[in-house]
Amino acid sequence: MEKKKPILFDVYPNLEGKVPWLSLLTGIPSKVDRLKDLEKYLNLKTGALYIKRDDKIHNVYGGNKLRKFEFIIGEALKKKKKGIITLGGIGTNHGLTCAIITKELGLRCELFLSLQPLTWHVQRTLLLSDYFGAKLHFAKSFEFGVFKSLLFRLFHPKYYLMSNGGSPILGVGTPLGSIGFINAMFELKKQMDEGSIPVPDVIFVPAGTSGTAAGLTAGCKLLGLKIKVYPVKVSMDIVVNPKRLIKTANKSIKFLRKRDDSIPDVKVGKNDFQLIKGYLGSGYGTKTLKGQNAVDLIQDLEGKKSGFLLETTYTGKTMAAMIDFLEKEENKSKTVLFWNTYNSNDLDEYLRETKFDYKKLPKKFHKYYTSKIFQCWQVTDCPEEIKFKCDAYLNHEYRFWKVAECQLDESKKQKAMNYLNEIKQLEDA
Ligand SMILES: Cc1ncc(COP(=O)(O)O)c(C=O)c1O
Q: Looking at ligand 1, which residue's alpha carbon is closest to its atom 6?
A: 208
Q: Looking at ligand 1, which residue's alpha carbon is closest to its atom 1?
A: 342
SS3 letters across 229-248: EEEEECCCCCCCCHHHHHHH
- Which tens digit of pLDDT belongs to each residue from 82-94? 999 999 999 999 9
The sheet that has 108-114: what strands, in order across it? 135-139, 108-114, 83-89, 159-161
Residues making up the chain, counted from first to last: 429
- Which tens digit of pLDDT belongs to each residue from 166-200? 999 877 889 999 999 999 999 999 999 999 999 99
Q: Return the closest-CA partner of residue 267 out of 231, 224, 221.
A: 221
pLDDT of residue 102: 98
Say if CB 352 and CB 394 are below 8 A apart: yes
Domain 65-166 in the same topology as domain 27-58+178-339: yes
pLDDT of residue 304: 78
pLDDT of residue 305: 86
- Which tens digit of pLDDT belongs to each residue from 264-287? 999 999 999 999 999 999 999 999
The class level of CATH for 65-166 reads alpha beta
pLDDT higher for 427 or 348? 348
What is the residue extent of each domain of the chain? 27-58+178-339, 65-166, 373-429
Q: Which of 134-148, 326-340, 405-419 has the lowest mean pLDDT?
A: 405-419
pLDDT of residue 391: 86
Establish whether residue 204 lines the binding site of ligand 1, counting it when its CB lies within 6 angstroms of any ligand atom. Answer: no
Quote the ligand 1 centre to 413 CA distance (angstroms).
35
Cis status of the peptide bond prior to 362, with omega within 30 of 0: no
Quote the ligand 1 centre to 313 CA distance (angstroms).
9
Atom of ligand 1 nearest to the CA of 68: 10
Mean pLDDT of 1-22: 91
pLDDT higher for 213 or 303? 213
The class level of CATH for 27-58+178-339 reads alpha beta
Q: Looking at ligand 1, which residue's alpha carbon is closest to its atom 16?
A: 93
Establish whether residue 211 lines the binding site of ligand 1, counting it when its CB lies within 6 angstroms of any ligand atom. Answer: yes
pLDDT of residue 429: 65
Q: Looking at the predicted structure, is the pLDDT value of residue 245 above 80? A: yes
Quote the ligand 1 centre to 210 CA distance (angstroms).
8
Q: Please, what sign has the CA dihedral across residues 167, 292, 53, 120? A: positive
pLDDT of residue 2: 61
Q: Looking at the predicted structure, is the pLDDT value of residue 227 above 60? A: yes
Establish whether residue 209 lines the binding site of ligand 1, counting it when its CB lies within 6 angstroms of any ligand atom. Answer: yes
**Is the pTM value of this prediction over 0.85?**
yes
pLDDT higher for 406 or 429? 406
pLDDT band at 322 (very low <50, low <70, confident <90, very high): very high
Best of 53, 67, 94, 113 for a ligand 1 pocket test (most atoms within 8 Å of beta carbon): 94
Q: Looking at ligand 1, which residue's alpha carbon is closest to its atom 12?
A: 208
Best of 52, 64, 210 for a ligand 1 pocket test (most atoms within 8 Å of beta carbon): 64
Quote the ligand 1 centre to 233 CA distance (angstroms).
11
Measure the CA–CA gap between 23 and 72, rounded to whole angstroms: 11
pLDDT of residue 84: 98
Mean pLDDT, rounded, of the chain: 94
pLDDT band at 1 (very low <50, low <70, confident <90, very high): low
Atom of ligand 1 nearest to the CA of 205: 4
pLDDT of residue 399: 73
Quote the ligand 1 centre to 36 CA distance (angstroms).
25
